[in-house]
Structure 1
Amino acid sequence: TFFADLEAVVVDEWHELMGTKRGVQAELCLARLRGWRPSLRTWGLSATLGNLDTALAVLLGADAAGSARPGRLVRGEAPKSVVIDSLLPDRVDRFPWAGHLGLKMLPQVVDAIEEGRTALVFTNTRSQTELWYQALINARPDWAGDIALHHSSL
């Protein structure tokens, strides 16, 4: 068959699919693949799942007898220190709320990124993400290849 050599399937951002129509389609596809490849390994990835046991059970599905497939949960439990820092202009009444929203804060954002080993910068639209990426690369060309921006609704 077409999937004769398939050994594993990785489902990224499982929390985004679980409980949705697309998630059900993914579950059906996985069930079909397991019919052809009973020993198929399935990995689900997510950094933001709440009920891990339910997510594991839904991802692995049931075997032919209707019993839950055995699985193992792997989670990172290293202690982490998280610092949340919102950068705001000194005077909000002079802050441009249209057009290139926030780009006047570029120097402060660059400084904040340089201070930390890792940083997440949130934007509210895809176009803002693209503008910020270009602005950051223009400000720090040496960051090209080291940074990535991704738009996502919060």
Structure 2
Amino acid sequence: MLAEKQLHLVSWGDLRAGGGNASRVGEDLRMLLFAEGDADDGAYERLENELEAQGDLFQCAPVAVATIVAAVAEGSIPAANLATSLDVLGRIVTGYADRSEIALGNGDLREQCRAEAMKGYWSLLRVAVERDPFNAWQVARAVLAVLDEEHSRRILE
């Protein structure tokens, strides 16, 4: 799986996260994206505060978006985890750079994250039209509405 390989290529400990450095983010993403069933071991909750905390984004967020989008594109996320993974993506693309990131000259995190998410636009559309039993299609539609409301609405009608 290429998305999982991408996770291992990132120096997560060199990136900033909500709790300081992002050393745990890579492993939490791996659990969220690739663990079977409910075996995420609290990764979803931890990511909520590391990638974005109450709408504030941190340096590691664009890399996380790229990884999620790659996993969606290759179809490697277990069906039971797809809605949750897309929920994380949706929270990131609606966020804004944390004040600490702005102070460090990284105020365009929202734009970076959305640009990464747009690379997976067609894969997100595929998920949005496939009515899965876990309702990932509804979450994908919400993400698409944030990224490109006008065009996605016309395509999905």
Computing the radius of gyration from Cα coordinates, the structure with the larger value is 1
Structure having greater relative contact order (Cα 8 Å, sep ≥ 6): 2
Structure 2 length as normaliser, TM-score? 0.28
Q: Which has the larger share of helix?
A: 2
Structure 1 length as normaliser, TM-score? 0.28
